Amino acid sequence: MFTPVSSDLIFKGRPGDLRFGEWLHQREISQSTQPSRSIALFGCPDDTGVRLNRGRAGAQEGPDSIRKALYKMTCPRDSRWSSVGIFDLGNIQVEAEIQKTHKNAEDASRSLAQEHAVIVLLGGGHDFAAPGISGWISGRQKTSGNLGFGVINIDPHLDVRELEDGVPNSGTAFRQLLESGHLTGSNFIQFGCRENRNAPDHWNYCESQGTSLISLEKITSQIASPPQQFGLQMNRLAKRVDALAVTLDLDCCHELPGTSAAPAIGFSIRELCQMAYAAGCHSQVSYFELAEVSPPWDPTGKTANAAAEILYAFLSGKISQGLGKTPLRQIKKPNKTPKNIKNRNKRRV
């Protein structure tokens, strides 16, 4: 199901200067560590959906570029990190047809959700929100019954285009989720959408579904900061549902050139880190996604570094709140798992 992470991505620190990737790898292969809770990370290195949506190619390099930046960070000082299992399972298999690639992502997300792991999906195009969230919902429903699910999309784009000839793209994910019945409009928030980046028909469609449309223009007109408003919206949604997903398209950040559709106006890196930390701190958030980091458009590497900081902020939030009250069960070994990551999936996490 997964292709293992390349050892080339793991930065080697000096003696006494252990880096995050080394720390994570050592904990994964340790037979003495038996953490009772887990965060499972996997990548979707494909930008077919972006290209089909007439966006800038390059997001297929996103997952590994984020890993490389994350793994270079120093290992955590807070001892609470040691009580949580963090597993990087690698990347899903990319197929010739986008629908088959999406099925691989959905299967991976469903398998992890059935084990109540907190899922972190690294894109890739934002089209992976559809299979990633669908798998998360169906997996949780299979083990926990008929729960209520809510989704927050941090993105200047609404991504509710119709499929073209039955083929999805990076602009169709949330129409797919809404029309499949996995998500209801009243439990869906579009946070930071831009008035001049979406067709009137797409605004009308979201309104007809009962979606909460919190535009960037409205956010920036308020006294409260964007992270404060995000937290308020998240808490309101949490009162109506049992589990939350947060998906963040890096196209929403005006400071980053290396995305599929780099904006001139948007959120700052610091604001996104604060939102990610708030999401991590919330006990009901069990799915987090970063989408459309496109390294070829940023030779400085700043975009990947920023995405890694956002991911670290989410992880820090999860560590600080202890991943909720329910201990996570063992992550089962997926079918066709490469031999060199079988051991990490057998262990209780």
**Where are the domains positioned within the chain?**
20-29+36-346
Q: Contact 331/87 with Cβ under 8 angstroms?
A: yes
Q: What is the torsion angle, in degrees rounded to the nearest 10, for the CA atoms of residue 56, residue 136, residue 36 and residue 274? A: 50
Cβ atoms < 10 Å from Cβ of 32: 5
pLDDT value of position 9: 85
The DSSP call for residue 185 is: G
pTM reported for the whole predicted model? 0.90
β-pairing, 212-215 with 188-193? parallel
Beta bridge partners of 244: 150, 285
Q: Contact 104/42 with Cβ under 8 angstroms?
A: no
Closest CA to 199 of 173, 160, 168: 160
How does 2-17 read in b/e, with b if 16+ C-beta sit within 10 Å?
bbebeeebbbebeeee
CATH of 20-29+36-346, picked from 3.40.50.2300, 3.90.320.10, 3.40.50.300, 3.40.800.10, is 3.40.800.10
pLDDT value of position 62: 97
Beta bridge partners of 285: 244
Helix orientation angle between 302-321 and 62-72, rounded to the nearest 10 degrees: 70
SS3 131: helix
- Kindly give the confidence (pLDDT) of every residue in the chain, 349 residues in length, as a single tens digit, with 9 standing for 90 and above: 799 888 888 888 888 778 888 888 766 654 344 444 689 999 999 999 999 999 999 999 999 999 999 999 998 888 788 778 899 999 999 999 999 999 999 999 999 999 989 999 999 999 999 999 999 999 999 988 888 999 999 999 999 999 999 999 999 999 999 999 999 999 999 999 999 999 999 999 999 999 999 999 999 999 999 999 999 999 999 999 999 999 999 999 999 999 999 999 999 999 999 999 999 999 999 999 999 999 999 999 999 999 999 999 999 999 987 654 333 334 443 444 434 434 434 433 3
